[in-house]
Amino acid sequence: MPHFLAKSLELTDLPFNDEGYKLLYEAKGVKNPNESLICVNYEDEEFFIRKIKKPHQILLKAEKITKPSPIGILKGALRVLSKKSSLISHNLNNDTIKQTLRSKFFIKPQDILKLGFYEFCIEIGFGSGRHLLKLAQENPNKIYIGMEIHTPSIQQVLRQIDLLGLENVYIVCIDARVLLEILPSNSCEIIYVHFPVPWNKKPHRRVMSHKFLIQADRVLKKGGLIELRTDDEEYFRDTLEISLKSHNMRAEITKNLSSEVISKYEARWQRAEKNIFDLRIFCLRQSEDKKIEYDFNFSSFSLKSLEKIHQVGKIIKADFFVHVCEVFKADDKVILILSFGDFNWPVSKIVIFDKKRAYYFGGNPLSTEANIKSHLELLNLLMEK
């Protein structure tokens, strides 16, 4: 990840502009004064850089919640900041093409609803993108949505989309379990889940779960399917057991079936004569339409009272939680870093409070039931304060 170390950093002239970057303000940690957030604007995109004071040096790196894409934008901002410092070391040279490519096919989760896609296909955790890109090439009239949380994989596939001239592949950086909850009913043809991390010791972190299948059943059109392909027999058997408990799905099993698109990992397992399991789960019904909308507005608040909100820590309810992780303060702003929502797939967001308004930095959370309940709990907390 791009970063640099410096003996010192001089930021007394904020705000300032350099090379198209606007360095707006620095918010200092309330709980930990040795850390701060520096707000950066580049071509109308805003993000934060985290500054960490250590003995005899300062570290500057991305605030991962707001990390911009492509990563070259972050590197450029860090290079601008490095001019204000006494550098010790850095890794900010040699931007690659994929690190600077800005693609219209890299979209925010909310954009899927705005673009009005219908009868699309999803691949969850596409990795190198070999399977996703092959499908898109062979079916130019179908829309494909790739979901991934690994930034290098995203950058690699966006570069391939550009090189191949594809117009029917969209990439989203999000936990698919969260996104599935807000997608329209009966809108998806196929959900591909190929070689997911098995998480056998932490099954709550798996993509495939009872809750996931409930949402997938709603999102898939009648006759649509989930295609799980895995080399992990425990994961395969657990998913099969979950699917058989559903009255609205039919399961189809194959073993060591040859695939048209073979990833480098699958090829390695085939050479090792390792079993590969395929589970296809078919949706047998048309679901009722489901549309949840919520505005995530904030009511009245006091900037002064917010400074001690970090003392609240974590609030745990039956089916959601809210954790005030960190609080930062600038002259006219209080910034909260929050984790909230569902226990098994939490959301991390930043909320900014200034004299006139409060808002979620980078856009509102998705309108899932757990996120809405978490927001309402946050409103109650602010009223108490």
Q: Which pLDDT does position 328 carry in this prediction?
A: 94
* pLDDT, tens digit (0-9, with 9 covering 90-100), for 190-233: 999 999 999 999 998 899 999 999 999 999 999 999 999 999 99
For residue 174 the two structure tokens come to 């999000």
DSSP letter for 365, please.
P
Judge if 117 and 256 occupy the same domain: yes
Q: Which pLDDT does position 305 carry in this prediction?
A: 66
Q: Which pLDDT does position 329 carry in this prediction?
A: 93
Judge if 124 and 86 occupy the same domain: no
At 282, give phi and psi (nearest 5°). -95, 140
Domain boundary among 47, 68, 98: 98
Judge if 22 and 171 occupy the same domain: no
State the residue range of the domain holding 363.
303-384
The secondary structure element, H or E, covering residue 4 is strand 3-9
Contact 369, 292 (CB under 8 A): yes
The secondary structure element, H or E, covering residue 211 is helix 210-219
pTM: 0.87
Helices (H), 15-170: 71-82, 97-100, 109-115, 130-138, 151-164
Taking residues 333-356, what's their average pLDDT?
92
Match 């609030």 to its residue by tokens: 315
Judge if 107 and 84 occupy the same domain: no
Chain centroid to CA 223: how far? 29
CATH number of 260's domain: 3.40.50.150
Q: Which pLDDT does position 95 carry in this prediction?
A: 76
Top-confidence residue, 379 or 247: 379
* pLDDT, tens digit (0-9, with 9 covering 90-100), for 286-310: 998 877 789 999 877 766 667 677 7
Match 């996104």 to its residue by tokens: 179
What would you report as the CA-atom Rg of the chain, rounded to the nearest whole angstrom?
A: 23
Judge if 176 and 89 occupy the same domain: no
**Adjacency order of strands within the sheet including 277-283:** 169-173, 144-148, 120-124, 188-194, 220-230, 277-283, 249-255
Judge if 236 and 354 occupy the same domain: no
Judge if 225 and 248 occupy the same domain: yes
Q: Which pLDDT does position 114 carry in this prediction?
A: 82
Domain count, the chain: 3
Domain contains 88 = yes
Confidence grade of residue 271 (pLDDT, cut at 50, 70, 90)? confident
Q: Which pLDDT does position 382 carry in this prediction?
A: 81
How far apart CA 151 and CA 71 sit, in angstroms, is: 8
Confidence grade of residue 96 (pLDDT, cut at 50, 70, 90)? confident
* pLDDT, tens digit (0-9, with 9 covering 90-100), for 345-364: 899 999 999 888 899 999 99
Judge if 359 and 210 occupy the same domain: no
